[in-house]
Structure 1
Amino acid sequence: MIKAVRDFTEYCEDDKAAVILTAERAVVGAVDSWILFLFYDGPEPSKEVFQNFTDIGAVLNTARKRSFADMIAWSNWVVLPGFNVLGGTETIPLPDASKAETVLGDIHAHWRPVPKRIVQKARERSPDLIGMDDSVDRLIMEVNFIFLLPSDYEKMQGVMKETYSGIREKVVGWQKDGTLPDAYVPILMSYGNSQQDYFARLKPESRALAKSVASKVDPKGLFRDRTGGWKP
């Protein structure tokens, strides 16, 4: 599975295809399973697009043709009423094929490919705040913890911080020793944890742009002072 998601990120040239690979662990590691989300924005993908994944086989296959409305409604199965959920994220450069098992095998999380093609398409349309370059393929890693008691929230925030910080430390170490390329790896705002510093991971020019826009549209600081979330 790790090799399949790594190779998909580098080699897939079909802009209609997308993958999210999820590693699920529960009951103190007694349950260790994979959930794979495949998406194709078209009538029918070619056999080769997802073949590295489908050749592995599945215990349960729920893939089918759906409308966008049906797909969004169906995705509610992941919502667990009565449980608390914490999320965090990290971004890593895609490892070379010879080093994929070392890097990805050491980080058991959610893998969301960000191939160069996505960045190239975004840059063709217009500049954006995150400002990724297309020098490398990347993987966005999302970490989620699900727990029952609200009283455990502070403790789980500590666990979350240890987790995403640990991933970051590993990535920086691999970049220093040449295992991973020394590439720009901002975090994705959509999945960031409140403790993570989103703007600190942006390029200086992007941070300056965010501050400039904020000062123009919110000169009196209404949203800055009365809303939550990250501030430039």
Structure 2
Amino acid sequence: MTKKLIFGLTALASIASVVVSDTCRTIQDTTAIELDHPLSTDYLTENFEYWSTACSALKPSCILSPTTAEEVSTIVKTLRANGNTEKFAIKSGGHSPNKYFASIDGSPLISTRKLNEVNLDAASQTVRVGPGNRWVDVAKALDGSGYTPVGGRIGDVGVGGLMLYGGLSFLSAQNGWAMSNVLEYEVVLANGTIAKASKDHNKDLFDAMHGGGNNFGIVTSFLLQAYPIDNEIWAGYFIFTPDKQSQILAAIRDFTENYDDHPKAAIISTTVMPLDLVEAWLMFVFYDGQDPGDAFKQFLDIGPIANTAKKQSYASYLEANNFAAIRGFSYEMGTETTPLPAKTDVYVLDSYINFWRKTAKTLFATAGIIASIAYQPVPKRQLRIAKEKGGDLLDMDENYDYIVFEMNLSYINLPFDWDDKRVQDAMKTLYTGQKALIDGFIKNGSLPSIPHLPLFANDGNQGQDYWGRIKPEKRAFAKKVQELVDPDNFFRSRTGSWKV
């Protein structure tokens, strides 16, 4: 509460200058939709709830919090009425640090926080989930039910963005991407129509929304496949010293290649470097069951200096993982996708991290800088399952294993944005440099030659070309659907994020 109060007080000057927009005024005068003005407690609280303070620094003209698809439809129709050309943003959990993707300055923000249903139908093994939930909310609502959807790994991540751009899960090796397990989208289209999209109804729209982001409408609920899960799973963290780097990377390579031997196991391996402290490797470990057997033996044989893994509820683990969401900092995030090297070429994985380390150290003088890079396995079995369930716009070759990088630079945003450009430039150096390394390793034969390496948008930077890395035929298909459901480019011209 103190932190939020301090944030609110320091933001008063900029908030006071926000002009009430036409949309805000019309919604307030003609509807009962919840609307929060600048300086109100709910406005300050909701606008604070971004992972990056750079997004919180943007001040919407008002925050609209619809509770139904019908209210979202009313907002969309209002935004279209009488020559209204205001830009707007839609926010789920506020995880993306990309400004204007889910944040806005001087125009309306649509918060989905009250579109927060979690309704399990055990008979059909489905659960309907609102985009305003965070994944810990979903896990807590289902705790003890014996079921879970395929969702986020950090509890504080929002449902909406993760589902629309792919979603990696601790359950992905068993069930595909999170988006692979959507059975139906309820979505408000650009003309205000409330539509349902599934394999049996509006199928082209359904297919395009598997990785298509916010190009087609505002999702008001997801019907998800639910899977049995024990009341307790085995999970926690391993911590390693940096001198174990080569052993850890070799183990990550082997673990990814041999996922068929342990499909219920999952890892996220991250090296964290606060530039004024000691670097360390942090590994999230998860097993869908209570006894992992020897699934993590190669990592344990390396000798972690700490091991917190234990039996616990899925909800408690997702909530505990929130420590990874460092608040009070500005973020830059970027991603890249590399094919998995052969066992004899594991040096490739060392090269990526050595380049990351060299680049991050150029930011030594940046206030509060913390650099991290995560190695996230995407095994071929996950991609096979995704294709069996209908595929997606990423359309990765299921004959290969991959590693997806998540690279983060967080720092204290000082007055006058002194460090912003320096950090943004460093992130661009990171993601362009990693791409150059990958291309070079493919050229010299150290990596398999895979012409199609899409970006994992959940970790992407706004400077990266998401749609340029989608196969041309998939991009053309998505564009055709976009033109059909949004012929006058309402979402394309008035919201942020990557546009097809």
TM value normalised by structure 1: 0.94
Question: How many residue pairs get matched?
Answer: 229
Match for residue 8 of structure 1 among 251, 255, 270 = 255
Alignment pair present for 1:229 and 2:497: yes
Partner of 1:58: 304
Partner of 1:43: 290
Match for residue 405 of structure 2 among 136, 141, 156 = 141
Letter in 2 for 1:25: M
Distance 2:310 2:281 in 1: 19
- Superposed, 1:107-118 pairs within 5 Å as 107-108=352-353, 109-118=373-382
Q: Mean Cα displacement is larger for which, 179-188 or 66-75?
A: 66-75
Distance 1:110 1:87 in 2: 11
Alignment pair present for 1:190 and 2:436: no
Contact kept, 8 Å, 1:93 with 1:139, in 2: the verdict is: yes
Alignment pair present for 1:172 and 2:172: no
1:138 shift after superposition = 0.6
Q: Secondary structure at the match of 1:144?
A: strand
Distance 2:470 2:297 in 1: 35
Q: Mean Cα displacement is larger for which, 19-28 or 171-180?
A: 19-28
Distance 2:280 2:314 in 1: 27
- Superposed, 1:36-115 pairs within 5 Å as 36-46=283-293, 48-100=294-346, 102-108=347-353, 109-115=373-379
Distance 1:126 1:81 in 2: 37
Alignment pair present for 1:219 and 2:483: no
1:66 shift after superposition = 2.4
Contact kept, 8 Å, 2:268 with 2:374, in 1: the verdict is: yes
Distance 1:219 1:15 in 2: 43
Contact kept, 8 Å, 1:12 with 1:49, in 2: the verdict is: no
Q: Choose 1 or 2 for highest CA Rg.
A: 2
Alignment pair present for 1:155 and 2:422: yes
RMSD over aligned Cα atoms: 1.3
Segments ≥4 residues shifted beyond 4 Å: none
Letter in 1 for 2:264: K
Letter in 1 for 2:438: V
1:96 shift after superposition = 0.7
Distance 2:428 2:384 in 1: 32
Residue-by-residue CA offset, 1:145-191 (whole Å, 9 max, x unaligned): 11112512222111100001000001101111111111121110110
Partner of 2:266: 18
Which blocks of at least 5 consecutive residues in structure 1 are unaligned? none
Distance 1:27 1:168 in 2: 24
Letter in 1 for 2:434: I
Distance 1:91 1:60 in 2: 29
Letter in 2 for 1:195: G
1:95 shift after superposition = 0.5
Letter in 1 for 2:284: F
Distance 2:311 2:463 in 1: 39
Letter in 2 for 1:42: G
- Larger relative CO (CA 8 A, sep 6+): 1 or 2? 1
Contact kept, 8 Å, 2:259 with 2:381, in 1: the verdict is: no
Distance 2:391 2:320 in 1: 34
Alignment pair present for 1:201 and 2:469: yes
Distance 2:258 2:334 in 1: 27
Distance 1:130 1:113 in 2: 16
Distance 2:311 2:394 in 1: 33
1:26 shift after superposition = 2.1
Distance 2:489 2:303 in 1: 54
Contact kept, 8 Å, 1:86 with 1:160, in 2: the verdict is: yes
Which blocks of at least 5 consecutive residues in structure 2 are unaligned? 1-247, 354-372
Alignment pair present for 1:130 and 2:397: no
Letter in 1 for 2:296: F
1:53 shift after superposition = 0.8
Contact kept, 8 Å, 1:20 with 1:37, in 2: the verdict is: yes
Q: Secondary structure at the match of 1:106?
A: helix
Residue-by-residue CA offset, 1:118-163 (whole Å, 9 max, x unaligned): 1011111112110011121111011011111251222211110000
Q: Give the share of equivalent positions with the same residue, in percent.
A: 40
Partner of 2:196: none
Partner of 2:356: none
Q: Secondary structure at the match of 1:105?
A: helix
Q: Mean Cα displacement is larger for which, 164-173 or 9-18?
A: 9-18
